[in-house]
Structure 1
């Protein structure tokens, strides 16, 4: 009874405390605490790896830490920042309790000794809590002995919270009621998945890694990414890094067409019934008109990547207009439409380029995930750059030249992983809600 009263106190804390401590969950009404079970039901989510049920001799705190690195709490398969409440309901049915908390929601599953926090707009999970009975055997001393000191200690007034930063934007929290000797519950919390900003300010960081870049090149790239994000924010109606905060993403391909990689990518997209967006170089369009025509007739977007693939920021306004016009004419001659989306070569953009593009009827569309398939070209790295980083609204950059044979191999794995995680793959016109053609 004492534990139940403790639970009632922390659930009515304001949303500000929730986000800081991930320990509160609801409104002024009473929310029943999940009924702990020794082993929760084991309906597996297809997109997640199996959860291990530990025996008595397993280092339980260490196991909880390892699961948290995957975004999972004990005895459930759902990943914060990736899975949605829709997927939880599909696997576990309707919850025993639903509560509104600010712009978010919490659901309670008594039979699974679990609860989840999720965003109202997208349904994305940001908090996974476990009330497994085995947690009651954990003391602060046993946790410290197993995984060391926490990165942060905080409190809500009724509970002490021990926070471990296990991964970027993911924390594992042990909640121990004041005066108690054991853990009440754990929280795997993804602060970056809490949608507490307006859609108009939803501009993502540009992510993706390559071990093939020198230290100097990597530093330069990070600086470019930071500057480009700031630039996109100040030109939000003309420059796009990503789409809205919805569970949709776009696959984009630069530098084609060619007669090998681009057709192979088209084959893969057709097999998986997915639409892509191709930023073609004008002079290559003239070389491979049949490939351009096929891309368009298969339902993909055919867009502009300039005529000669030059850094437009180093050109004057007349030269920029010429690059865009020549590419536009080459594409229009084949598909009968002029593109209204431009991806600037190398992503280099400034006020002069934006002004010229706007005059010519173009929106500039960059990217939020760089697969680095032009640097570290191995299939595994290309796939990992997507599946390890994907967020709502991501625009994913790949390339479609003869050098990108590994991209062709990686594409089916990327598509299947995204679809398993519940992402809808759409073209840029659908993602951004702007016209692809003039």
Structure 2
């Protein structure tokens, strides 16, 4: 059956003949697409780090809530358990530590992003949701890359994002080079999964544009992300073609290369000389590879200070976004925000928050398992023909979480929402087999 505003699962599986009448189509996919298209525009930031994309996001959430209430469709809120514990951990830490009430704004952001994933999966019965979201994402990423590249070449600061603080590194309209690189890396994954643009020569050109834009960010985290993407795709490709034995062999080979490089190659390479050479070369190398030693030292010092701070505290946490203020209060020699999802969660939200983070990743893994092992319905399969490739986004975000805090990245939650949407679309579709 079909209800006003939201189709049942049959709509996504292609059981209905012909297009859905326009009067029955939900407007939510259009606002989801608009949000995705505006996600890269983070500068200038509004109050509370709000952005232009938050306007259509709020509209999409509101319409999704209204449609769900009006139609009586079962409410599905992916990742609710994990985010709830993250919020509860933040509240408990705020109350016990006596943190200022304004930190509740961070918890409101947690709730907003959770509801954003709800708005996405509210269209699990509407084939237009997957199409609208993926088309908007796959079109936006190369456009952002092209505009960023052209702006960098002509020296137009407002769009290249090159500032005195980041030297020659491009942050585009993200306000931070690492955030820009993470967005582009994840966008590359989505483009590959969706095979968009459809025209192959154009798609390859767009891949090159995005890769070039990532290079200009000078982000070491972005470089690690790309390595994870290529390695992950190779392993998944082996699994799909040859089975789990081939995938395990590819994984073992990758691990052997990493360990072998660390044990046999690294001792014979003078990394200091490499960094010094990079520091004295072109500005982009100087500000990326050339500063890697200082970056590692800074993060190591911050980790040490944060660890010491944890053992000095009550164990309940100091409150959301309070790492920098707490380090300053304790007169730590190195004062900065955590730049690490795992340490930030433990330090700011305590054990309750850590449990929430674990549940969040477990839910993500469960959804990815469905996407990898079940055949998607026709509508979703047409929009994301290589849905299995989305799985490489998990290690990218998980590793990135060790370098900076990705839990409040809008594009990360868009990826989480897309994965949940595809996973829910497989429920009741029968086949528990890998989509070929």
Structure with the higher strand share, 1 or 2: 1
Under a length normalisation based on structure 2, what TM-score does the superposition of the two structures give?
Answer: 0.26
RCO comparison, higher one (Cα < 8 Å, 6+)? 2
Larger Rg: 1
